[in-house]
Homo-oligomer: A and B are copies of this chain.
Amino acid sequence: MRGYSVDLVGGLSDADTTVQSMEDASPAKWHLAHTSWFFETFLLRDHVSGYRIFDENYAYLFNSYYEAEGDRHARPERGLLTRPALDDILRYRAYVDAAMTDAITGFGPEQSKLVALGLHHEQQHQELLQTDILHLFSRNPLGPSVRNILDDAHIEPVKLDWITGASGLHEIGHDETKNEFAFDCEGPRHAAMIHPHAIANRPVNNREWQEFIDDDGYKNPAYWLSDGWDWAREQSIDRPLYWRQREGLTEQFTLSGWTEIDPEVPVRHISFFEADAFASWAGSKWDGARLPTEAEWEVAAQNGLPHKGSVWEWTGSAYRPYPGFKPAAGAVGEYNGKFMSGQFVLKGGSDVSSPGHIRDSYRNFFYPHQRWQFTGLRLALDI
């Protein structure tokens, strides 16, 4: 599984994996190192006697945000680390992997839980590595591609339809009685009250987004949250992040470079603010259109929601703790809980997500202005 991270940098140069294109993104090399530091720190250092730290400097360089683990390199400066080189980091990974292989058979249940956490953590960074390199390459006038395949196979049109949602009390969140991995913030499982509504059978696609643009959706403040309107004005936002007009065509920057937009493919790289404005605009066609809540989405998914998993779908729910949530003790407890303000929940998963992360209880979260992830939306409706 960890090998996939290395596969992802297969076509990248040392320089490609070093540069940080914005504060929100991290260098690919940093992702490779940080995920290894996670195993080295929380398993090898803490639970394997005699383990010898690969490089004493790495704890400082590759801790992301764990205050309990001490001082760390400032996030906006991650891109200044031309040394260690990619080769050094690959050696670091091999060293950690070897030590983990030796140690793993001796781990008890507590350590095994941390191993599972480390692996799912790695999978999250595999997704981020791709979204971050996409952002870096999008800023290069040469428009380099990462992969030699097209991202989006052509999709057959799917007519928009409305599925009546379950209402009343329903259980959501990770079920601890099942022996499956979940992040701490996915639980505790609890009853959520769901009000009458319908939910769309698929995400909003590029064609529909183009209609929103053509109908001055980006220019009419009536559709927008106040913060969203201010953000869009300040940043001159008038289309999804990676769209451009070129000789009469609408193109999108992808991991394969610039490609023509497919109207049937789910729109992506939009912020919560844009998603919410789209839903308000859609209210003129479908009265009561809005973003689904997290609970609505999750219960619909339990009941077989179609066409999920190609884009992360913004919900209308703020990312806050579930009833009874308690972060774990120690540094690992900083994993999710401390980010529970100012962000919104996304559900589903994307083309660059690890398949195991496309589970119904998964709670992804980003700030409402962020859009370099593979983020889209699906409409819901008050009925």
Residue positions of A touching B, CB distance < 8 A: 13-19, 21, 57, 60-61, 65, 67-68, 73, 77, 79-86, 136, 139-142, 144, 169, 190-193, 195, 221-222, 224-229, 272-273, 276, 288, 290, 316-318, 320-321, 323-324, 326, 338-342, 344, 368, 382
Contact = CB atoms under 8 A, between A and B. Distances in A.
Contacts of A318: 318, 320
A273 B341 CA distance: 9
Nearest to A66: B221
Nearest to A83: B144
A193 B68 CA distance: 35
A140 B193 contact: no
Contacts of A80: 19, 21, 136, 139-140
Nearest to A21: B80
Contact of A222 (B21, B67, B192, B317): B67
15 contacts: A57-B141, A61-B141, A68-B222, A80-B136, A80-B140, A81-B140, A83-B140, A83-B142, A195-B324, A227-B339, A290-B321, A317-B320, A318-B318, A341-B344, A342-B342
B340 A225 contact: yes
A344 B324 CA distance: 19
A73 B141 contact: yes
Nearest to A14: B15
A282 to B, nearest CB: 14
A82 B339 contact: no
Q: Which of A16, A80, A368 has the most CB of B within 10 A?
A: A80
Contact of A221 (B67, B193, B382): B67
B195 A192 contact: no
Contact of A141 (B60, B79, B317): B60
Copies held by the complex: 4
B324 A382 contact: yes
Which of A17, A85, A338 gathers the greatest number of chain B CB atoms within 10 Å? A338
A192 B190 contact: no
B339 A225 contact: yes
A79 B195 contact: no
A316 B320 contact: yes
A161 B296 CA distance: 37
A60 to B, nearest CB: 6
Contacts of A341: 225, 227-228, 272-273, 276, 344, 368
B193 A193 contact: yes
Contact of A15 (B18, B221, B276, B317): B18
Centre residue among A19, A82, A320 by max chain B CB count within 10 A? A82
Contacts of A191: 193
A148 to B, nearest CB: 15
A340 B276 CA distance: 11
A310 to B, nearest CB: 25
Given A84-B142, A227-B342, A338-B226, A79 B19 contact: yes
Contacts of A272: 341
A228 B80 CA distance: 27
A74 to B, nearest CB: 10
Given A141-B57, A382-B324, A16 B226 contact: no
Contacts of A140: 80-83
B82 A19 contact: yes
A79 B79 contact: yes
A85 B224 contact: no
